[in-house]
Structure 1
Amino acid sequence: MKKTLTGAALAALAATGAQAGGLDRSGQSVSAIFDEAGTARLSFGYVMPSITGEDTGGGGGDYDVGENYVQPGLSYTNAVKGGFNYAIILDKPYGADVSYDDDPTTSNLGGTMADLNSQALTFVGRYAINERFSVFAGLGVQSVDAEVTLNGNAYANAITTGAITSQFNAGLPSGVPELDSSVLGAAIAGDTDARDAIIGTYGSTAYTNLASSFAPTRGAFVAGDGYDFEMEKTNRPTYLLGAAYEIPSIAMRIAGTYRFETEHKADTTETVFGTTTDGEVEYVTPQSFNLEAQTGIAPGTLLTLGYRWTEFSAVDLVPEALGSDLVDLEDSHRYTLGIGRQFNEKLAGSASISYEPTNDNETVSPLGPTDGLFGLSLGARYNDGPMSLSGGVNYTWLGDADAGVADQAVAEFEDNHAVGVGLQVAFTF
């Protein structure tokens, strides 16, 4: 009965794989390490985000940028003599599927898109010190690849201004302060104070030359269909450490898992202003910490709690030609609270809520145009001998946000949500 109840309490979250903060997809749980020996799990989730916004540029229309995605998962758990057991876990920890389907010549973000894929295969070994205390560690391999396009009027202005500024600064004599691209952008947009500041520092001829090069450089950006970035797949080792405390008689367990930051180095191809550049980029996938807890609170009733921190602020992806961060995300903090109820020996149900606080920034990345969330999940599990079948559905309210380019709001996103559905089947051999 405890096996069925525990599985039902987790089914709503584990099966649906609902959208989370930053680039999080799977949540990277290692709960499979606590499965009965000889257990295999297979899960399949399908998530349907509805992320709509309005262009603030005047010429553009409405955006519908959320792309549906699949979230699969696989694990196998078995025991070894002497208090050891292990789990092999396959998941997709991170991802992004965003597309601004609008005319890039009349909207701020039309033509912008991001497609990030990842896979991870992790081996986790656990040693039970006694009935209550255990420690575990994991070694795995993680792969990541991505394709990003930045387009539309907002990126045309920002990237053009950045390129002109970078070229100008490269030719300055030693000791002369460098020009900030935001100052040049403001001056070209008609800010007289910004224009006078450039003239006062570098002379009127310098400003005239800068301004005159803006239109043809911007034209080359538009003619080349914006900025395109492709990052080849890399495979890197990953590591984790954890510990757990359990009281089996009341189905109580508290488990903490720390995952180390993973360093990547990938080959890249950038195309902008009609020029293609092959290069290399170094970046990390973030360190994280998961705290997962459960306890029986009454006969046939289980309470679950969870917390996940992910350091997305450390994920700086700065391609050579672009010269700025493609990710630009804040750390994610996710809280969950759930309850499971046993109906009979074979059937149990669950309900849970999830919450991520807002970061309250004035703007967010157009490649992740929401801020915070609140979700509700319902799940059920049917157990029949060695096989169990779990199903769940999730509805998540996504927080409002202004998408920004160069710290300027260019689109407003309000009243958005995501729906996730999923199935999980488990066999104990």
Structure 2
Amino acid sequence: MFDVIARNKVARTIVVIFAAACSRFAVMAWLGDRELGNDIRSFRVVAETLLAGKSVFDLPHFVYTYPPVWMYAAKLLRSIGDTYGVSFTLLIKLPQVFADCLVSALVVFAVARRTEKLNAPMLAGLLYALNPLSIYVAAGIGQIDPLVMGLVLVAMLLAEGGRLRGYLVGGLVLGIAISLKTFPILLAPWLVWRAWTAFPRRWVAGGVAGFCILPWALALLPFLLNGETTALTRTVEFMFLQSGSGGLAQQRGLLSALAFVGIPIRGLNAGTESFALALGVVGPALAWVMDQYRLLLISKILFVTIYLVMFWFLRNGPLLKVCLLTFVILFSVIGGFFGYYLLWPLPFAVVLRDKGVVPYSLLAFVLNVWADPWVNLLFWVFCVGWSVLLVRGLLAEQRSAVEPHRAI
């Protein structure tokens, strides 16, 4: 029976979508109006503020860090809920659930193009559809990352086709993702460079780059014309994981792992830092540097440096693989991050059928529901090891591609 369904393109896609929808709706039904974390509460504040005719950027005790697109969706969903008496907690999760169903179907389609194994597409789709990490982020927390990553995956699959229209439309789709949350801008250079290598004309690369920014710019335009520059400064300020400080508070990331093994970091293990100062192990200058927020900034600078080096040496690597590597290295280097960020590499890893996807999914899920220092340390060690394996694999692929040309 399984083999019959797996061979039928329509049937396997329907089964995967059904599995994704049922698993998420089951979790939503079990939770009811209970909220895991503060994300839905924040969306509710945003919706109520807009319905009251006020600006979310003027709230004194609330910092809205997203581009000004999702807040209108939250407002619309709150209006629908008030009109028909439906829970906002339920409605705000629906776009994420639908996005996850789309991603599950895209996984089936993408894997079918990469392999002739009949069972592989359906198994890969189910791996995402029933993945505890994706279920938790979409149906548990209710964050919009599944929706954003669905758009990102569509953009990269369009570009993989190698057609001019695919690059241009892919750039626009990636731009829509950036207009919801700014982190996908990390993948824009890969897409623009790939468009340039395929069609070495300035207008092509410029067009793709422009489409990547256009939706975000259009969303900001009404605020800028109205003189409300906070919408721009907030999204730029928080573009590069400024909210990583929240990850520090939740004990997720490199700095929490270092503090756990005894590195004296002010704000994370003040007792160890004072003890190290008393012994003279850490001088005043080093103690000034060993502050959690200064180290968080240093970790971001380090990531940008590694990213630029990686881009130079691996710029011609397979598009999905370099996207996966970007996020895995991010979690290996950045000082702190929120748990739902860990969804970002998952679609790429599943489509590529990377061997690291299963242990990564389990560790990332556990780190979301139980941010124990041991779990965080184990997750960080795994990401470092996975990054090394991915880099070695990409370099080996590049060498094997160059050797035939040298022989000729």
Tell me whether the two structures share a fold, i.e. TM-score over 0.5.
no
More helix by share: 2
TM-score, length-scaled by structure 2: 0.28
Q: Which has the larger radius of gyration?
A: 1
TM-score, length-scaled by structure 1: 0.27
